[in-house]
Every structure is written in structure tokens, then in C-alpha cells.
């Protein structure tokens, strides 16, 4: 979730404190699979992405490698606790309609390839006078 999204949800709570005091905002902007992340990235960037698919069992056996521990702990928590059921993209959309999706993030942050330098042809002619 982007920092601007967090700000949008916090603002919603500040604007309606009676609704939110003592309540949890279990927010996520969307649920997408790794394959969907790759497909959306390819569509927006035009760059191919190769996804190595593994079973859930094989993924859990990775035990964090190659992910940083803080990322792995979130993955594991979602997968082991089945925490997905308590988060709702629809709810997030209702609270903050301007929330950012993965597609929006890529469009905003992907830097285009720098333009190619212009191609310049230089021709020289030697004129020979045979008089």
C-alpha cells in the first residue's frame, strides 16, 4: 500500500472519528497473484517478465530465501493465518476510492527508456577537377 493511500485512509478516519474510534481498518487495495503482477507489468512496460511458479508447499520450504525477513514474515502470516479473509479491497475502495492499484503504481513510477541519441550521417565529397 502506498504512502499516499495510507494518508487517504487516515484522512477518512479523521473526517469521521465516530465511525472509526476503536475500530480496525483492515485494508488492502487489491488481491492479485504473482502471475497477475507479472502480466500487468508486461502490459504497462512492454517488457517481458518470466515467472517461476512453485507450489505453496515448495514456497513455504524456501523459509524466506531470497526475501528479506520482514517481507517473508508478512507472506507467511497471510498464508498461514489465512488472513486474506479479514481484508477487503472492496472495503478499501469504499473508504478511499482514489486508492492506488499495482497498475496505477507502475504507470506513475516506471521510468521510460531514455530516448536513443539521434543518428547523424556526415558525408564528405571530394571534387576533383580534371582540367
Higher pLDDT, 126 or 63: 63
Given a cut of 80, is residue 83 above it in pLDDT? no
Q: Give the CA distances from residue 62 to residues 36, 57, 66, 67, 76, in Å, rounded to whole numbers and listed in that order.
A: 21, 9, 8, 9, 11
| Mean pLDDT, range 3-24, rounded to an integer | 90
| Mean pLDDT, range 86-108, rounded to an integer | 88
Given a cut of 80, is residue 1 above it in pLDDT? no
| Mean pLDDT, range 76-96, rounded to an integer | 78
Q: How many CB atoms lie within 10 A of CB 110?
A: 13
Q: Where are the domains of the chain?
A: 1-30+87-99, 32-85
85: pLDDT confidence band, cut at 50, 70 and 90? low
Given a cut of 90, is residue 18 above it in pLDDT? yes
- Averaged pLDDT of the chain: 83
26-61 pLDDT, tens digit each:
888 888 888 898 999 999 999 999 888 888 888 888
pTM over 0.85: no
Block residue for cell numbers 465511525 = 19
What are the cell numbers at 49? 517478465
What are the cell numbers at 3? 504512502
Amino acid at each position: 500500500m502506498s504512502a499516499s493511500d495510507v494518508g487517504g485512509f487516515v484522512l477518512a478516519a479523521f473526517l469521521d472519528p465516530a465511525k472509526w474510534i476503536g475500530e480496525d481498518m483492515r485494508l488492502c487495495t487489491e488481491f492479485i497473484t504473482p502471475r497477475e503482477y507479472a502480466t500487468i507489468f508486461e502490459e504497462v512496460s512492454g517488457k517481458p517478465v518470466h515467472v517461476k511458479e512453485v507450489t505453496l508447499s515448495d514456497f513455504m520450504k524456501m523459509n524466506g530465501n531470497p526475501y528479506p525477513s520482514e517481507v517473508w514474515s508478512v507472506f507467511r502470516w497471510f498464508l498461514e493465518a489465512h488472513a486474506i479473509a479479514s481484508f477487503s479491497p472492496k472495503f478499501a475502495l469504499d473508504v478511499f476510492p482514489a486508492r492506488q492499484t499495482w497498475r496505477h503504481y507502475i504507470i506513475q513510477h516506471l521510468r521510460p527508456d531514455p530516448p536513443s541519441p539521434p543518428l547523424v550521417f556526415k558525408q564528405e565529397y571530394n571534387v576533383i577537377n580534371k582540367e
